[in-house]
Amino acid sequence: IPTEVWGRIDTFLVYNSLNSREIIEISIDYIRKYCEENFELEVGNIDSVFLAELAKKHTNSRYGARDLLKELEAEINLMLTD
C-alpha cells in the first residue's frame, strides 16, 4: 500500500472464511427473505443437495457471502421463471 494511502486508513478488518455450516445458514435465511420480499412467497423446505452444493462451492471463498448471494438470486429467479 502506498504511504499516502496507508496514512488515511484507520482500521483494518480481517474476516475468516465461512465454513459449510455458515454458508448453509446464510443460504437458508437469504432464500426465505428474498422470496418473501420479492415474490410474496413463503419457503418451507429447501433441498439439502442444493444447499450442500452451494456450501461446497462457496466454502473458503475469497469474497465471503457476496458471490453466494448473487448466485442465490440468479437461481431463484431462474426457478421461478421456468
User: From the first residue on, what is the mean pLDDT of each consecutive set of 10 residues in the chain (82 residues)?
Assistant: 82 85 96 95 95 90 86 92 78
> For position 62, what pLDDT does the model report?
79
> For position 41, what pLDDT does the model report?
94
Output the pTM of the full model: 0.79
Q: Angle, to 10 degrees, between the axis of helix 66-81 and the axis of helix 48-58?
A: 150
> For position 47, what pLDDT does the model report?
95
Residue 77 near residue 47, CB atoms below 8 Å = no
Closest CA to 35 of 3, 77, 81: 77
